[in-house]
Chain A
Amino acid sequence: MFTMLNLVQPKELEEAYQILSEKRNNTILGGCAFLKMGKKRITTGIDLSNLKLNYIQERDGFIEIGAMTSLRDIEINPLLKDNYNGVLAQSVRDIIGVQFRNGVTVGASVYSKYGFSDLITALLSLDTEVELFKAGRMPLEEFLAQPKGKDILVRLWIRKTSCQAVYMSFRNSASDYSVLNVAVSKLNDQWRIAVGARPSKAALAVSASEMLVGEIPSSERIEAAVQKVTEELSFGTNTRGTSVYRKALCKALVRRGILEVMACKSN
């Protein structure tokens, strides 16, 4: 069980950041579902509930998602169902149950860079930027590559495009963590293949994605790209599966993902 000496609900982001910076053990609170399973000793817990960061809206050619938006809102929001082939809704729908998803937040899922995250994988397949209070806006890939620092994830910006995307995961049982998850997207002739729960955090298979650029890929080209994904990304072993098993799953899921994206109507 984690402990918290103080709990605050700032009215301004600036105040939240100031409190976060004051002590090493001061921590931003998301939904707390993951935090409560640990033994973290928090000096001051910072709850962002009063900052009006629970929203999904369209702005300046982007879909903007506030950090305190719940995963259930991602799942049922009409804007997200109608865009990107509903890939974001698809990615979160098997995370435990409705009442769990009503409580956990987008900000905590992304900022914590959880290896098991389903949402990060789907976001990586789209043109996603994160907006941090101090460091500003940057592509999600860049944020994931940075060492963990002290900042506040304020919102996500996903460029609104007509890209087609699919999300697939393999679970040992319903509602368990993914053994492996994959998201594939295509915009015009540009592809993005993201693989997560390897079990390390999700990453883009850049070289494999580039192999699909151009005319409609032949089955040979698809097989070559599938093989490339398993070569350019690393796969590890944990209680849910071995690296060898994950590589085999990865090939199957990426292949299915590519074929499904190709079958999407707007392509």
Chain B
Amino acid sequence: MQIELTVNDKVVQWEVGNHEFLADTLRSHGYLSVKKACDTSCCGLCTVWIDGKSMLSCSILSLRAHGKKVTTIEGLPKEAEEFAQILSAEGAEQCGFCSPGFIMSVLAMKNELVNPTEEEIIHYLTGNLCRCTGYMGQLRAIKTYLGVA
């Protein structure tokens, strides 16, 4: 079936399968920042925004994106670079495989929470797994980025 959606401010019409998930659709159209790693909806690597809300694109049927505004990290180059600079300065970036989904969650958190505590930051990001770091560098970077260090 055909869906029409806005991806990073660009209106697109795509043909999708009945049981096709948005992560696969996005990747097939070149949005390769969207990663899949767990198969159990728990790693957060596929995080994109749908109408401004962070969602697991691996678990959302593509049909449900019809008429919606989807944002991937490719659509937020300025914000992503700003945070990525802080992230690497804290030594928190290693293999980088989880970074696109992680950064989408951090940016969503910035939009949603005002001056979050450390506990609130950790709670908001529980759904983003990283298998390289111990999360401490990332936490320092987030606090610096949000101005709550």
Contact A98 B1 (CB under 8 A): no
- The answer to whether residues A97 and B44 also contact, given A7-B1, A32-B61, A103-B55 and a CB cut-off of 8 A, is yes
Given A36-B21, A102-B53, A103-B56 in contact, is the A7-B63 Cβ separation under 8 Å? yes
- A7 lies within 8 A of B59 (CB): no
A99 touches B18 (CB 8 A): no
Whether B59 pairs with A31 at a CB distance below 8 angstroms is: yes
With contact pairs A2-B19, A5-B18, A96-B42 given, residues A103 and B123 touching in the complex (Cβ less than 8 Å): no
Q: For the complex, is B41 an interface residue (Cβ under 8 Å from A)?
A: yes
Which B-chain residue is minimally distant from A5 (CB atoms)? B18
CB-nearest residue of chain B relative to A31? B59
Any B CB within 8 A of the CB of A224: no
Are B127 and A3 touching (Cβ within 8 A)? no
What's the Cα separation between A47 and B126 when bound, in Å? 28
A160: interface (CB < 8 Å): no
A100 and B56 contact, Cβ closer than 8 Å, known pairs A1-B19, A5-B18? yes
B44-73 CB contacts (< 8 Å) to partner A: 44, 47, 53-56, 58-61, 63-64
Q: Is A86 an interface residue (CB 8 A)?
A: no
Q: Is the CB of A33 within 8 A of B59?
A: yes
A26 to chain B, nearest CB (A): 13
Q: How far is the CB of A22 from chain B (nearest CB, A)?
A: 17
Q: Which residues of B contact A31 (CB under 8 A)?
A: 59
Q: Does the CB pair B19–A3 fall under 8 Å?
A: yes
Out of B21, B41, B108, B123, name the residue touching A100 (CB < 8 Å). Answer: B41
What is the bound-complex CA distance between A9 and B63, given in angstroms? 9
Interface string of A80-93 (1 = CB under 8 A from B): 00000000000001
Contact A97 B59 (CB under 8 A): no
Known contacts: A33-B56, A98-B54, A98-B108. The answer to whether A174 contacts B47 by CB under 8 A is: no
Q: Does B105 contact A (CB under 8 A)?
A: yes
Q: For the complex, give the distance between the alpha carbons of A100 and B19 in Å.
A: 18
B128 close to A (CB within 8 Å): yes
Given A4-B18, A37-B40, A103-B55, CB of A97 within 8 Å of CB of B126: yes
> What are the residues of chain B within 8 A of A1 when measuring CB–CB?
19
Which of B1, B53, B58 has the most chain A CB within a 10 Å cutoff?
B53
Bound complex: CA A246 to CA B17 (Å) = 43
Write out, one digit per residue, whether chain B residues 10-28 have a CB within 8 A of any chain A CB (1) or not (0): 0000000011010000000
Binary A-proximity of B74-118 (CB < 8 A = 1, otherwise 0): 000000000000000000000000000000010011000000000
Docked CA distance A49–B60 (Å) = 12
**Any B CB within 8 A of the CB of A257:** no
Partner of B105, one of A4, A5, A37, A99: A99
Most buried by B among A32, A98, A102: A98
Chain B neighbourhood of A33, CB < 8 A:
41, 56, 59
Residue pair A102, B64 in contact (C-beta under 8 Å):
no
Check: B124 CB closer than 8 A to any chain A CB: yes
A102's partner among B1, B21, B54, B123 (CB-CB below 8 A) is B54
Given contacts A93-B123, A175-B42, A175-B127, 19 further A-B contacts (CB under 8 A): A7-B18, A7-B19, A7-B61, A32-B59, A32-B61, A33-B56, A33-B59, A36-B21, A36-B58, A37-B40, A45-B18, A72-B53, A97-B44, A99-B44, A99-B54, A99-B55, A99-B56, A99-B108, A174-B126
Q: Which 3 A-B pairs have the closest CB atoms?
A: A97-B127, A99-B54, A7-B18
Residues of B within 8 A of A (CB): 1, 18-19, 21, 39-42, 44, 47, 53-56, 58-61, 63-64, 105, 108-109, 123-128
